[in-house]
Amino acid sequence: MRIGVLGAGRIGGTIARRLSADGHAVTLANSRGPETLRDLAEEIGATAAHAAEAAEDAQVVITSVPFPRVPSLREVISRAPQDVIVIDTSNYFSFKDGLIQAVEDGRVESEWVQEQLGRPIVKAWNNTLAGSFMTKASPPGAPGRIALAVSGDDPQAKATAMRFVDTTGFDPVDAGPIADSWRQQPGTPAYCTDLTADELRKALAAADRSTMTERRDRMVAEMRQHEGMPANEELLRLSRKHYLEPGTGPSRRLGR
């Protein structure tokens, strides 16, 4: 398939690398221009381009940019074909993104993203730590394979995203419609806790919307006590501590 990846950070760049290795025609773009991506694109077998060029002829566009930058992609996405599949990987954290009032007031993150882009989306690859995503991929059927949640309203678009998640090394789990994608947002048991498919299904079912913001903020507060950004396994420990361990509620239902 022809895939435009908007954002070449640790998540977007890794997605581009793995989908290109699977034989897809990947065009990679970022906010700094294609000249900053030529070496990476050449290394992974992709094409570096401006964002609009990456979207214009794409069958799938994957947006992997900081949450506050999503609105800036609306014009880019408008150039994509009407039947393009848009997959978004972003998450909202007020401590680094600033306050986005609609989300603070309870708007589901992915619904807000859809409104900003002017297109329906599928949510995928958002409930994994970048370090886990880059280093813990495994083939289908591997024992303990980590699973990732995929939410969306269009069955065909969701099926495509789930195939891509599998291609990038993780078991895809159908997390329901976009209205329920809060179940894979920060602060929930499904978020960045490196679960297997069976565990992830239980985690999605156990999510409690009334406490997710509080849990997210507790985790962030402890994370920020560290000097510099904690390593991946420390971030994983903190996520599990605040979202899964006894005393947080869902851990009992998950049997952890």
pLDDT tens-digit readout, 127-170: 999 999 999 999 999 999 999 999 999 999 999 999 999 999 99
Which pLDDT belongs to residue 109? Answer: 98
Helical residues (DSSP H) of 118-151, grouped into ranges: 130-135
What integer pLDDT is reported at residue 249 of this predicted model? 37
What mean pLDDT comes out for the span 184-194?
98
pLDDT at 14: 98
Confidence of residue 250 (pLDDT cuts 50, 70, 90): very low
* Residue 136 structural domain: 2-254
pLDDT band at 245 (very low <50, low <70, confident <90, very high): low
pLDDT at 246 over 70: no
pLDDT at 201: 97
Residues 6+ apart with CB under 8 A from 23: none
25-54 pLDDT per residue, tens: 999 999 999 999 999 999 999 999 999 999
For residue 255, is pLDDT > 60? no
Q: Would you say 146 and 138 are in contact if contact means Cβ atoms under 8 Å apart? A: yes
- Does the pTM surpass 0.85? The reply is yes
- CATH of residue 220's domain is 3.40.50.720
Q: H or E stretch including 150?
A: strand 147-152
pLDDT value, residue 122:
98
Total count of domains within the chain: 1
- Among 205, 203, 209, smallest CA distance to 239 is for 203
Say yes or no to pLDDT of 9 above 90: yes
